[in-house]
Amino acid sequence: MRVFPDDPRSKRIPSRSKELKVRDMINENFEGFIHDQIYTSHCDCTHRRRIDHRKIIGNTLLAIETDEFAHRNYDSKDEDNRYNDIQMVHGGKCIWIRFNPDDNRDKTPFPKKLLRLKEEIEYQIDSIESNTNVEISQIVRLFY
């Protein structure tokens, strides 16, 4: 797709276009987020979990997950195991923002969803920096 963008077959390759738009919004408005890399917290372990967007602020891992189609077909037990794995490797507090970019019940347009995500990230960063995030693990779901 990158090598032959004009080839008609490239248009049929699935892409993460919404996740990339989320990445672009985050990069335009915030510094220090890491996109789409395996999180191991600098240890030599078998844990191989990927986080869409992450930033460590103090002792808190702020993670933003772009959940295309609200991850309806994902196993909830596997998602819980994923949270636990990353929590154990990180060893500090975790805030997860689960963002559904696709159509939802109220049909919020994507640009408005991105604005709401930006506001939530700002709120969570303020909460972390003012040390008012008290939960060890917190999950915020947007547009489910």
Three-state SS sequence of 90-128: HCCEEEEEEECCCCCCCCCCHHHHHHHHHHHHHHHHHHH
pLDDT at 49: 75
* Structural domain spans, the chain: 17-142
Taking the C-alpha atoms of residue 51 and residue 39, their distance in angstroms, rounded to an integer, is: 7
Per-residue pLDDT tens over the stretch 119-143 = 999 999 999 999 999 999 999 999 9
Which two three-digit tokens encode residue 106?
A: 């109220």
What is the average pLDDT across 29-39? 87
Model pLDDT, residue 1: 61
**pLDDT tier at 47, thresholds 50, 70, 90:** low
Q: What CATH number does domain 17-142 carry, 1.10.760, 2.40.10, 3.40.1350, 3.30.465?
A: 3.40.1350
Handedness of CA 29, 34, 37, 41 (dihedral sign): negative
The per-residue pLDDT for 12 is 58
Rounded to whole angstroms, how far apart are CA atoms 98 and 129? 21
Of 126, 66, 71, 60, the closest CA to residue 95 belongs to 60
